[in-house]
Amino acid sequence: MSNVVETVRQVVAPILEKHSFYLFDVEFVKENKSWYLRVYIDKKGGITIDDCVLVSDELSEKLDAMEPDPIPQAYFLEVSSPGAERPLRNDEELKQAVGEYIHVSLYKNLNGNKTFEGTLKSLDDDVLTLQNDKWGKHDTLEIPRNLIAKSRLAIQF
């Protein structure tokens, strides 16, 4: 199925470029008895439903016109945003999130906790720095990067 994902990445790239969107991810998965082609897109300021419809229509048209059919089985095409609390999967995504409120899960306790939320102030090769005014007089925390299991954007309440 990796051929399907790679083909879709190539077909959707010019569509996204034309509209100043970027590709977050593509997955082609079987759930129960149905196949789903999911294309996650984003743009600065966030994706709207109309943006998803636009890309879905253009991508569907391009895929339907291809010979031979790159996806011979029946499938559902879903184009959506990666979500308000999307994962931060690599250094590039972490760098783009500087100034954003994030959630960080650790492999082991740091200061008695394995999870932290705060504004990502900075990051370098070794340390990620969070700030959270709720932490009192020590409102910043440096987290060693080798302790980080997962990170994602978070909604601040």
Residue among 108, 107, 104 at smallest CA distance from 141: 104
As a CATH number, domain 87-153 is: 2.30.30.180
d(CA 41, CA 58): 14
**Type of residue found at 75:** Y
Question: Is residue 142 within 8 Å of residue 127, measured between CB atoms?
Answer: yes
Report residue 102's pLDDT band, with 50, 70 and 90 as the boundaries.
very high
How much is the pTM? 0.79
Query: Does residue 2 have a pLDDT over 80?
Result: no
Check residue 62 and give its pLDDT: 97
d(CA 47, CA 33): 30
Bridge partner residues of 117 (DSSP): 103
Domain 3-80 has CATH 3.30.300.70: yes
Check residue 147 and give its pLDDT: 95
Query: Does residue 107 have a pLDDT over 70?
Result: yes
Q: Residue 4 in 3-state DSSP?
A: helix
Check residue 1 and give its pLDDT: 56
> Which whole number is the average pLDDT over 83-99?
92
pLDDT tens figures, 113-132: 999 999 999 999 999 999 98
Residue spans of the domains in the chain: they are 3-80, 87-153
- Between 12 and 111, the higher pLDDT residue: 12
pLDDT tens figures, 57-69: 999 999 999 999 9
